[in-house]
């Protein structure tokens, strides 16, 4: 039996060790390739979100926490991990599952959408509603570099920045849209990705799991080690479950590196302009 066959919901995924997640991602990728070769679909877009979907369902307490996928055809991995693996061979067929998220289809589909550029405003609405209700729900918008170019996404960012809502926006930049991406934003992101900030921050990323204060939130691996047995954050002295802070002995390491990376990025952008 493959690992993937044991995952019928994100709860099963969250029982795994962190170092098993890459195997899950590889199996999902293979499953998509095999299935889509037979039935057809938006294969490429979902292949660009395999690790991301696995990581998000592992780190967040879905469906309580809300994942809002911007481009609905990126959600094949999300569908496979949320109990719809067996339905994939009938994707987009009469009586089968939809090629996009549908709220009627699953409690994990938080927003019925095709594409594009609506995720940030939808997620902002959910985050503000959660705050009004005193709910500790976390909300994540996942938006591609293509969808990010639309005015609606910028309106939503502008609004979100002024509302102090608990909202995470993930920019999934794969340098592609309907076809290869063009335009000033694309050029800017390419500069950012090839710049010194990214180069300096990237080697640190495998060790950065919890942000300072993260242990105060319900999905924090350090806060719920039994739910996330693969997490070694507490053991490694990173995110403290009691204070939610990085312990002094090691706190400096990631933060100092990020600070250095930011300084490098600032000086790099000064030299470029
Ligand atoms: C309101 C609106 N604007 C633009 C489009 C065209 N459109 C469809 S998908 C998409 C973005 C796809 O690129 P990306 O978000 O990077 O996702 P990927 O396809 O790479 O997974 C765009 C701009 C649209 N369908 N609707």
Question: What whole-number distance in Å separates Cα of residue 113 and Cα of residue 23?
Answer: 29
Cβ–ligand 1 contact at 234 (below 6 Å)? no
Question: What whole-number distance in Å separates Cα of residue 10 and Cα of residue 106?
Answer: 13
pLDDT at 211: 53
CA of 42 to the centre of ligand 1 (A): 12
pLDDT at 224: 41
Cβ–ligand 1 contact at 150 (below 6 Å)? yes
Q: What is the DSSP string of 135-158?
A: ----EEEEEETTGGGSHHHHHHHH
Indicate the top mutation candidate among 177, 179, 193 to test ligand 1's pocket, ranked by most ligand atoms within 8 A of CB.
Answer: 177
pLDDT at 68: 98
pLDDT at 197: 83
- State phi, psi for 272 to the nearest 5 degrees: -75, -35
pLDDT tens digits, one per residue of 10-23 = 999 999 999 999 99
Nearest protein CA to atom 19 of ligand 1, as residue = 177
pLDDT at 181: 87
What are the residue ranges in the chain where pLDDT is below 50?
212, 216, 218-219, 221-238, 240-262, 264-266, 268-273
Q: Global pTM?
A: 0.77
Counting from 1 in the atom list of ligand 1, the atom nearest the Cα of 74 is 21
Indicate the top mutation candidate among 48, 72, 116, 189 to test ligand 1's pocket, ranked by most ligand atoms within 8 A of CB.
Answer: 116
């Amino acid at each position: 039996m493959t690992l993937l066959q044991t995952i019928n919901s994100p709860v099963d995924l969250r029982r795994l060790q962190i170092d098993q997640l890459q195997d899950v991602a590889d199996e999902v990728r293979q499953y998509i390739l095999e299935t889509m070769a037979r039935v057809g679909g938006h294969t490429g877009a979902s292949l660009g979100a395999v690790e991301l979907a696995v990581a998000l369902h592992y780190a967040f307490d879905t469906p309580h926490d809300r994942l809002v996928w911007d481009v609905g055809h990126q959600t094949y991995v999300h569908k496979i991990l949320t109990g719809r693996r067996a339905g994939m061979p009938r994707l987009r067929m009469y009586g089968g599952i939809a090629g996009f998220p549908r709220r009627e289809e699953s409690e994990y589909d938080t927003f019925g959408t095709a594409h594009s550029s609506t995720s940030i405003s939808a997620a902002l609405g959910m985050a503000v509603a959660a705050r009004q209700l005193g709910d500790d729900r976390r909300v994540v918008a996942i938006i591609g570099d293509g969808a990010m170019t639309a005015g609606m996404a910028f309106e939503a960012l502008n609004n979100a920045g002024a509302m102090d809502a608990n909202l995470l926006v993930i920019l999934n930049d794969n340098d592609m849209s309907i076809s290869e991406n063009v335009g000033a934003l694309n050029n800017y992101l390419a500069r950012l990705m090839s710049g010194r900030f990214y180069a300096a921050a990237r080697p640190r990323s495998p060790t950065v799991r919890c942000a300072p204060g993260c242990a105060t939130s319900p999905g924090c691996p350090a806060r719920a080690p039994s739910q996330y047995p693969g997490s070694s954050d507490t053991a490694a002295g990173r995110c403290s479950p009691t204070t939610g802070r990085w312990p002094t002995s090691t706190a400096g390491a990631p933060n100092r590196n990020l600070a250095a990376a930011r300084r490098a990025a600032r000086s790099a952008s000064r030299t470029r302009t």
